[in-house]
Amino acid sequence: MASFRQDIETTIPALRRYARALTREAEAADDLVQDTLVRALRSEHLFHGGDIRSWLYTILTNLNRNRLRSLARRPVLTSIEDDDAPDAAGPEAGGRDIERALAMLVDEQRTALLLVVLEGLTYREVAEVQGVPIGTVMSRLARARMQIKAYLDGERPALRRIK
Amino acid sequence: MTDRNSPATEDEFHALVDGELPADRREAVENWLASHPEDAVRVAAWRAQAESIRARYGAVANEPVPDRLALDRIIRSRRSWAAAAAAAAIVAFAVGGFAGWMARGASAAAPNVVELMTNEAMAAHRLYIGEVRHPIEVKAEEAHLLPWLSRRVGTTLRAPDLSAFDLKLLGGRLLPGVSGPAALFMYESANGERFTIYCSRVAEPRIAFRYSASDTFGAVHWIESGYGWVVSGPGDKTRLKAVASAAYDQLENRTPTPTRSSANQLISRRGS
């Protein structure tokens, strides 16, 4: 199984890149990659050929979705005596335009876009990673691109950077 | 519009940008764009987006891979987990090196580590309480549960007895934590409510109870002697606080640990 591990090893830099763009935080990204590697190694006996790279992307994508669920409502820390906790915080602040544009996308759209433009996966491969038909991948891509364009064009004043 | 070609579709614009357009349509789509400036602007914008994304993140793949992601290291640590579990099943396990872990805990920690820990604990809670068949990795009945998790987390772990709250220990699992391995214990009530207790080493000063609200559940966390604890459970804050207090009291030896089941056994005995 040496080649299995070698294949995983050669994919690590790409996984880090993908995770960084998904999370836009270096630490969280490497945590995701680490979890992905642990799971991949644990599931080595379940892997029956096929494209290891796509499989790793699939694991990482799923782990990231779990992560986002937990952050969907960032917990608000309050004293135990405080009975009226305020609502969750707003969108994350800071970062460059493209980062913020990515941050505002729905996870499925961001994932589809990054797998295509950053990781160079084919539509078919992305469909397998996301477990959806190719048509769904394409509509996710289309919506992602439309929203990023609108954001960068400044059509979303609520989200525009405050100068 | 070019007469000799059928109109290009939106999907084909994307396919062109992504290099997925069949060769026999490429010319037609490019001709279309040449005569439809609005579409051409859009396609150019998509290409620019892709370039921005690659410019922003592409270089990450050229960075040296951090040690913690080295495959050898991950494989080695997996072997040691397995070995620890196997050894613990045979030999009564004694915790050593506790002081060493504590000393390590004195090193500087990243800011927000407490919040990160709470987030991780709540993420684990959210994820695993939803698991019907595999909410835990090791059952409470298995003798190696506590020795194994104690060894991995680096301190003597006990699973508090929460039977006073109609909560029975199901078992536990090991998780990657913010600054080292973390243990997660899961409890269940007769009507299926699930609570979790999370513990991980955290190099932060002592913190008294803090409450964190999520959409569907809450968590109480505290830090004591270099270890962070997070008790997560359904939204009833009063009950959650009571459960957390009981857990705290038992963990800090303020009340004797009930010894009704093996799950509650104290394994803090030092030495061999």
Convert the pLDDT of each residue in A62-80 to its tens digit.
Answer: 888 877 876 665 554 555 5
Is B53's CB within 8 Å of A71's CB? no
Burial of A86 (0-12, 13-18, 19+ CB in 10 A): exposed
- Is the domain spanning B70-264 CATH 3.30.200.100? The answer is yes
* For residues B81-100, average pLDDT: 42
Q: How confident is the model at residue B90 (pLDDT cuts 50, 70, 90)?
A: very low
The answer to whether the complex's ipTM is over 0.90 is no
Q: How much is the pLDDT for A121?
A: 96
- What part of A 78-117 touches B (C-beta under 8 Å)? 78-80, 82-83, 85, 96-99, 101-102, 113-114, 116-117
Average pLDDT of the residues in B229-236: 91
Residue A86 lies in a domain: no
- Confidence category of residue A85, pLDDT binned at 50, 70, 90: very low
Q: How far is A1 from chain B (nearest CA, A)?
A: 13
Structure tokens belonging to residue B124? 């684990």
A8–B contact, CB cutoff 8 A: yes
pLDDT at position B207 over 60: yes
| CA B139/CA A117 separation, integer angstroms | 44
pLDDT at res. B206: 87
Q: Among A17, A81, A137, which would you mutate to test the B interface (most chain B Cβ atoms within 10 Å of its Cβ)?
A: A17
CB pairs under 8 A between A and B: 141
Averaged pLDDT of chain B = 80
pLDDT (average), residues B203-229: 88
- Verify that A3 and A60 share a domain, yes or no: yes
Q: How confident is the model at residue B193 (pLDDT cuts 50, 70, 90)?
A: confident
CA B105 to chain A, closest CA, distance in angstroms equals: 19
pTM: 0.53
Q: Is the pLDDT of residue B91 over 50?
A: no
Cβ–Cβ gap B20/A21 under 8 Å: no
Provide mean pLDDT across the span B181-208: 90
Secondary structure E strands in chain A? 76-79
Q: Are residues A115 and A54 in the same domain?
A: no
Residue A85: inside a domain: no
| Residues A63 and A104 grouped into a single domain | no
Are A102 and A154 found together in one domain? Answer: yes
CATH number at residue A121: 1.10.10.10
Name the pLDDT band for A145 (thresholds 50, 70, 90): very high
**Which chain A residues are closer than 8 Å to B78 by Cβ?**
38, 41-42
Domain annotation covers residue A83: no
Upper half-sphere CA count for residue B266 (Cβ side, 13 Å): 12
Mean pLDDT across B143-169: 91
The mean per-residue pLDDT over the stretch B244-272 comes to 57
The reply to whether residue B211 touches residue A116, judged by beta carbons under 8 angstroms, is: no
Residue B133 has pLDDT above 50, yes or no: yes
The number of folded domains in chain A is: 2
Tell me: pLDDT of B248 over 50.
yes
**Is the Cα dihedral B203, A39, A53, B123 positive or negative?**
negative
- Same domain, yes or no: A61 and A101: no
The residue type found at A139 is S
Q: Does B115 touch chain A (CB under 8 A)?
A: yes
The confidence score (pLDDT) of residue B254 equals 61
- Chain B residues whose beta carbon lies within 8 Å of the beta carbon of residue A138: 11, 14
Q: Which is more confidently placed, B271 or A16?
A: A16
We report the CATH number of the domain holding residue A34 as: 1.10.1740.10
The b/e string for A41-68 (b: 16+ C-beta within 10 A; e otherwise) is eeeeeeeeeeebbbbbbbbbbebbeebe
Residue B76: pLDDT band by 50, 70, 90 thresholds? confident
Residue B14: closest C-alpha in chain A = A142
In angstroms, the separation between the Cα of residue B272 and the nearest Cα of chain A is 32
- Residue B238 at interface with chain A, using a CB cutoff of 8 Å: no
Residues of B in contact with A145 (CB under 8 A): 14, 45-46, 49
Say yes or no for a CB contact (<8 Å) between A13 and B62. Answer: yes
Whether A78 maps to a domain, the answer reads no
A90 has a pLDDT exceeding 90: no
What average pLDDT does range B78-96 have in this prediction? 47
Count Cα atoms within 13 angstroms, Cβ side, for B181: 20
Contact B213 A76 (CB under 8 A): yes
Q: Which residues contact A16 (CB under 8 A, 6 or more apart)?
A: A29, A30, A33, B60, B61, B63, B65, B69
Structural domain including A138 reads 95-163
A141 to B14: CB separation less than 8 angstroms, yes or no: yes
Residue of B15 and B92 predicted with greater confidence: B15
> A162 lies in a domain?
yes
- Domain limits, chain B: 10-61, 70-264
Given a cut of 60, is residue A93 above it in pLDDT?
Answer: no
